[in-house]
Amino acid sequence: MCGIVGYTGQKDCVEFILKGLTRLEYRGYDSAGIAVMEKGRIGVRKAKGRLKNLKNLVEDNPLKGRTGIGHTRWATHGEPSDINAHPHVDVNHQIAIVHNGIIENSYVLRRGLEQKGIRFISETDTEVVVQLFAYYYKDDMLNTLYRVLPMLEGSFALGVIDQHRPDTIYCTRKGSPLIVGESKEGNLIASDIPAILEYSRDIYFLEEMEIAVVEPAAIRFYDEMGNFIKKESSHIDWDMEAAEKDGYAHFMLKEIYQQPKVLADTLNHYVDLEKMAIRREMMPFSPSEAQALDKLTLIGCGTAYHAGLMGQSLVSRLARLQSECDMASEFRYKDPIIEKNEAFVVISQSGETADTIAALRLAKASGSKVAALCNVIGSTIAREAHQLLYTVAGPEIAVASTKAYSAQVLVLMILALDLAHLRGRLSDEELKAGLAELAALPQKAEALLEQKEHIQYFASRQFNCKKIFFIGRLLDFYLAMEAALKQKEISYIHSEAYSAGELKHGPLALIEEGTLVMAMTTQHHVMDKMASNIQEARVRGGTVVAVGSSPTPELRAVAEVWELPPVDDRFAPLLAIIPMQLFAYYMALQRGCDIDKPRNLAKSVTVE
């Protein structure tokens, strides 16, 4: 998705901006550009493709100045090209802007400006905004922003430079994140924290429609009505090392390997392991709230949705509380029935997914309590929810989510145990026993990672396959969905997740000699059923791998087994996902795919 960086200070801005854009590369993009105030005039360089193309361009044709803005673009309006790349400038070359988000009424606005004689050179919605700024500009950019912003429908994070005030960056946001960072070397703006973390740890999070006027030695904030406001900065203490590869070939592999620590850190955050007791202050529901609940709805997109499915199943099963999981992209359009005593958990690694933000706002508007299960403190979702359920996963860089998923599922397991206990479905002893099982997971995950060679070898024999089925029942079906998504995202192999009992109702027709079937078999009370489903696939030529702990002889007879350490069925999917992540990784590696930045995908989907 698009990324923004800007700098104004006493130093050359180009280095700051290009470094910041490099830190944003993981988000996925198709072109990049930079605009610099050079001796009172705006210089622009833009290049389609990877950032190195822009860097080469700037090397051949340098820019020099102390104030500038940069952008990585992920095309929405207009194909990826040099012309459509940001920054965009107005016809008089006096204002340049970078923009994240989508201006939904850009067509109408563009027609209006064209009728006034303004000629456009790109196909983008962003150019409409800069031309509006120029058209309505009187004597001050701040006033111009107040004039133009109400005309814009949709979402935006904007960084603006203006020849009339050559050392100032103006920025604002609606629906897309934007932060301002303070540093001794100058001040910065960015769409994401990692972009400027090297220079600034004191970050201001802009709220909807706030405007920041950023100068080398001062930052002023204004609200939507034009009132000057005082804002507090947040200190970010992430370790910079956490945003590096640390010797791993890819961020994804590093993040898979971080999972034992992430599980341990997240567990410690919620559970006092000495007393084997849940830290009450971390949980979203008090005992009386938990007892009064009639329904818990979980909402997310992609991997976060899959974590939610796991969560809703555990909450229903353990706490006997009605629970559903919705896709955030559907929730607001389905006219949901929201119960009086219904609460929500919205799940998002980034905290900036547009559909999930919209679902959160709808749930809040219904008067329900909304907790956010989120990995980025200070993100929109983390700030807007009534309570933050923080996943202690550290920055996740690879587009394919791994460690954030594990942390999300773990927190949902703790939440399910807590609700079950508070609603009288689990005794004190049973709760302690459940928590002790969870406490053993990090070590078991560590042991699993040591078995990566056989997965690597298996991938070296299978990487040319055309399709893969991932099957399972109950929790294992949700696990299969996540395993299939990982495979699709990074190896581009057509992967279908199917509920194992449904195979014979249609998809069995697709099984032929050599079709790869990955069977999730962690749920012992349906293991015999799984063995029958596997047999159905096998006799039609399928090659079947079963993933689970303590396999029965029947299962061993029909499939190659990837065995997990012994583990409680309720929590087993948290271990079983690890070999599936490694499998996707090694398949993608064999196929020469761009693992950390898969085609067509972005790390955080900030547009609908």
Q: With respect to ligand AGP, which residue has the nearer C-beta, 345 or 400?
A: 400
Query: Could you tell me if 444 and 567 are in contact, meaning their C-beta atoms sit under 8 angstroms apart?
Result: yes
Q: With respect to ligand AGP, which residue has the nearer C-beta, 303 or 313?
A: 303
Binding ligand AGP (rule: CB under 6 A), the pick from 126, 187, 303, 606 is: 303
Binding ligand AGP (rule: CB under 6 A), the pick from 155, 356, 491, 581 is: 356
Query: Could you tell me if 36 and 42 are in contact, meaning their C-beta atoms sit under 8 angstroms apart?
Result: yes
Q: Which of residues 231-270 bind ligand AGP (CB under 6 A)?
A: none
Q: With respect to ligand AGP, which residue has the nearer C-beta, 228 or 333?
A: 333
Residues 6+ apart with CB under 8 A from 600: none
Q: How far apart are the first and last CA of the chain?
A: 12
Q: Are strands 543-549 and 516-520 parallel, antiparallel or unpaired?
A: parallel
Report if residue 350 touches ligand AGP, rule: CB under 6 A: yes
Which helix (H) or strand (E) segment is 478 a member of? helix 475-491
Q: What is the C-alpha separation between 602 and 26, in angstroms, rounded? A: 8
User: 235 to each of 190, 197, 526, 560, how far by Cα in Å?
Assistant: 16, 11, 49, 50
Report if residue 348 touches ligand AGP, rule: CB under 6 A: yes
Q: What is the torsion angle, in degrees rounded to the nearest 10, for the CA atoms of residue 335, residue 336, residue 340 and residue 343?
A: -140
Q: With respect to ligand AGP, which residue has the nearer C-beta, 349 or 521?
A: 349
Query: Could you tell me if 158 and 97 are in contact, meaning their C-beta atoms sit under 8 angstroms apart?
Result: yes
Binding ligand AGP (rule: CB under 6 A), the pick from 58, 96, 134, 605 is: 605
Binding ligand AGP (rule: CB under 6 A), the pick from 304, 373, 518, 559 is: 304
Fill in the amino acid letter for 347: I
Q: How much of the chain is helix, strand and coil, in % rounded to 5?
A: 40, 25, 35
Report if residue 299 touches ligand AGP, rule: CB under 6 A: no
Query: Could you tell me if 449 and 578 are in contact, meaning their C-beta atoms sit under 8 angstroms apart?
Result: yes
Burial of 317 per CB tally in 10 Å (0-12, 13-18, 19+):
middle
Please tell me which residue in 2, 301, 325, 593 is annotated as part of the active site.
2
- How far does CA 339 lie from the centroid of its chain? 29
Fill in the amino acid letter for 186: G
Report if residue 400 touches ligand AGP, rule: CB under 6 A: yes
Which range, of 42-50, 220-228, 344-352, 564-572, touches ligand AGP by CB under 6 A?
Answer: 344-352
Which range, of 183-191, 283-291, 310-318, 399-407, touches ligand AGP by CB under 6 A?
Answer: 399-407
Q: Which residue is nearest to ligand AGP (CB)?
A: 302
Q: What is the C-alpha separation between 606 and 156, in angstroms, rounded? A: 10
Q: What is the C-alpha separation between 197 and 366, in angstroms, rounded? A: 37
DSSP class of 23: H
Q: With respect to ligand AGP, which residue has the nearer C-beta, 43 or 101?
A: 101
Contact map string, positions 473 to 492, toward ligand AGP, x by CB under 6 A: ----------------x---
Which range, of 113-121, 297-305, 337-345, 544-552, touches ligand AGP by CB under 6 A?
Answer: 297-305
Which range, of 50-58, 302-310, 410-418, 552-560, touches ligand AGP by CB under 6 A?
Answer: 302-310
Q: Which of residues 175-204 bind ligand AGP (CB under 6 A)?
A: none
Residue 2 annotated to the active site:
yes
Q: With respect to ligand AGP, which residue has the nearer C-beta, 327 or 503?
A: 327
Q: With respect to ligand AGP, which residue has the nearer C-beta, 100 or 124?
A: 100
Binding ligand AGP (rule: CB under 6 A), the pick from 200, 323, 349, 406 is: 349
Which residues bind to ligand AGP, rule: CB under 6 A? 301-304, 348-350, 353, 356, 399-401, 489, 604-605
Q: Known catalytic residues?
A: 2, 603
